[in-house]
A = this chain, B = another copy of it.
């Protein structure tokens, strides 16, 4: 076995270190030379591309169109929405000059003081301001509505503590921005897009999520409501994986986007925005992977099947090439992403370790004896189970196995989630149990005070008020003793 590849910290030893090592060893991403930024390597980017492709299709099926808005935002735009500027001004990259010049006093280049901008520009941390400033020109009548735009782009938030994929200063995402004629339609769109995120997480990432609404404190800066999908990582911490915001008329008012409604009256447009980012890569890794490396859901794996021959003599390889090349072709003809790896500069043991580390869902191996017997070894990455089968009908079998793996890792993750959501209404008990991780459904009086207290005492936060929990009789707040308004989902989080 290739020791250097497999030399991965165990999750039980140090979960955080396991994650950091895995991201780098599996060739997904690495730290860039700019503080807090990352390089997404080809293998990692190929997974992100598959995510993009599926999400993009799902968005477009609901009538959303892609567009592109500028990277730079005039500083003054930020100030137009009072809460928004509070939320984003503190962590943004500021462009102040537009030219460098040769250093008159030495080597290299320096900022040219003569090229100072009249108004500083901000690298977008999110694009509500610049997009609503544009919508002003597009929206005049109810006939112009709805406007349903999305953009795939980079954004920047100057984070102090960063981790690859989970929190980086620059990250890639999509941000949808819609404008509507009525409050109802905007609220409906907000929920619809959250539903798409949940469906994508479950059907493609094989990652079960809890859908719910954020507390006022945790809302997006400028939103009336923020909906979220929350996933549970293997270490018992929650990870916010996507959010959809109902923005009311806040941005319509801030940027003067008015339209003539069907009753011939001027009204401000209603807004939503919604986004998922390369953070999903972190969620994907932490939901399924194990001490041997990545475990990828077949629907997102850049490579679904790898075929490796084992041979001694050159003549054996030729025979193996003939048989395995045929199997490769048959799998490919079914749309399966397959690679036949007969490269002779790496030993089979090295290849096995590498493909395990990279989470290729199915591995097929054939040696000399298999060739004689008409058999092949099938290894599934999720359970690491191996079996030797006849090559007859192997394509059917592999195709079914990919579906089975997709389902199996979902069921496993769903089972983990279901067995780690606890009802708890006693604060002493909560404080003790939260140390072991998991999500807690707790009666909450809805006040900021109890929310802050939980955070202070335990570092856990209210992740959301879940949609699918019966909220009719939430009980008594576990801290204040006041009647609870909701059963809130509380957890430590990324």
Say whether chain A's binding surface is mostly helix, strand, loop, or mixed: mixed
- Within the complex, what minimum Cβ distance (angstroms) separates A409 from chain B? 26
Complex CA distance for A379 and B37, rounded to whole angstroms: 52
- Per-residue 0/1 for A412-454: is the Cβ within 8 Å of any B Cβ (1 yes, 0 no)? 0000000000000000000000000000000000000000000
In the complex the two chains form, is B71's CB within 8 Å of A33's CB?
no
Nearest B residue to A91 via CB reads B99
Judge whether A93 is part of the interface by a CB distance below 8 angstroms.
yes
Inside 8 A of A122's CB, which chain B residues have their CB? 100
Identify the closest chain B residue to A29 (Cβ): B68
Assess whether A111 is interfacial by the CB under 8 Å rule.
Answer: yes
Say if the beta carbon of A383 comes within 8 Å of chain B.
no
CA A34 – CA B99 in complex, angstroms? 17
Q: Known contacts A33-B133, A34-B74, A39-B134; decide if A107 and B93 are in contact (CB<8 Å).
A: no
Contact between B45 and A156, CB atoms less than 8 A apart: no
Beyond A68-B39, A68-B45, A134-B39, whether A94 also contacts B90 by CB under 8 A is no
Q: Does A345 contact B (CB under 8 A)?
A: yes
User: Known: A71-B156, A92-B99, A121-B34. Contact between A76 and B108, CB under 8 A?
Assistant: yes
Complex contact B34–A72 (CB within 8 A) = yes
Would you list which residues of chain A between 80 and 127 have a CB under 8 Å from chain B? Answer: 85, 89-102, 107-109, 111, 120-123
B98 A94 Cβ-Cβ under 8 A = yes
CB A156 to nearest CB in B, in angstroms, measures 7
- Which chain A residues numbered 4 to 40 have a C-beta less than 8 Å away from chain B? 30, 32-34, 37-40
Known: A42-B149, A120-B111. A37 touches B100 (CB 8 A): no
CA distance A92 to B72 in the complex (A): 13
Evaluate contact between B74 and A33: CB separation under 8 angstroms: yes
Asked if A66 is at the interface of the complex by the 8 Å CB criterion, the answer is yes
Q: Does A216 contact B (CB under 8 A)?
A: no
A322 in the interface (beta carbon within 8 A): no
- In the bound assembly, the distance between CA atoms of A90 and B30 in angstroms comes to 30
Asked if residues B109 and A75 are in contact (CB atoms below 8 Å), the reply is yes
Name the CB-closest residue of B to A131. B39
Q: Give Cα distance in the complex from A122 to B107, angstroms.
A: 17
B109 pairs with A89, CB closer than 8 A: yes
Shortest CB–CB separation between residue A88 and chain B, in angstroms? 9
Chain B residue numbers with a CB within 8 Å of A97 are: 93-94, 96
**Cβ contact of A69, chosen from B39, B78, B95, B121, cutoff 8 A:** B39
Q: How far is the CA of A134 from the CA of B149 in the complex (A)?
A: 34
Q: Would A90 and B79 be within 8 Å (CB), given that A33-B133, A34-B74, A69-B32 are in contact?
A: no
- Render A366-382 as a binary contact track against B, CB cut-off 8 A, 1 for contact: 00000000000000000
Bound Cα distance from A101 to B79, whole angstroms: 11
Please, which residues of chain B bring their CB within 8 A of the CB of A107? Answer: 79
B residues in contact with A94, CB < 8 Å: 95-100, 111
Interface assignment of A310: CB less than 8 Å from any CB of chain B? no
Question: Chain B contacts of A261 at CB under 8 A?
Answer: none
Give the complex CA separation of A230 and B134 in angstroms: 34
Cα distance, A67 to B29, chains bound together (Å): 9
Q: A93 — which chain B residues lie within 8 A by C-beta?
A: 72, 95, 97-98, 121
Tell me whether A46 is interfacial, beta carbon within 8 Å.
yes
Chain A to chain B contacts (Cβ below 8 Å), 14 pairs: A32-B69, A32-B134, A33-B70, A34-B73, A37-B71, A37-B72, A46-B65, A49-B66, A89-B99, A92-B99, A93-B121, A95-B123, A96-B97, A98-B158
- Identify the 7 closest CB pairs spanning chains A and B, nearest first: A42-B65, A40-B68, A89-B100, A37-B70, A94-B97, A98-B158, A79-B108
Chain A residues proximal to chain B, CB less than 8 Å: 30, 32-34, 37-42, 45-46, 49, 65-79, 85, 89-102, 107-109, 111, 120-123, 130, 133-134, 137, 143, 149, 153-154, 156, 158, 170, 172, 345
- Apart from A40-B67, A46-B66: 9 A-B pairs, beta carbons within 8 A: A71-B123, A75-B100, A89-B100, A91-B98, A92-B98, A92-B99, A94-B98, A95-B123, A123-B123
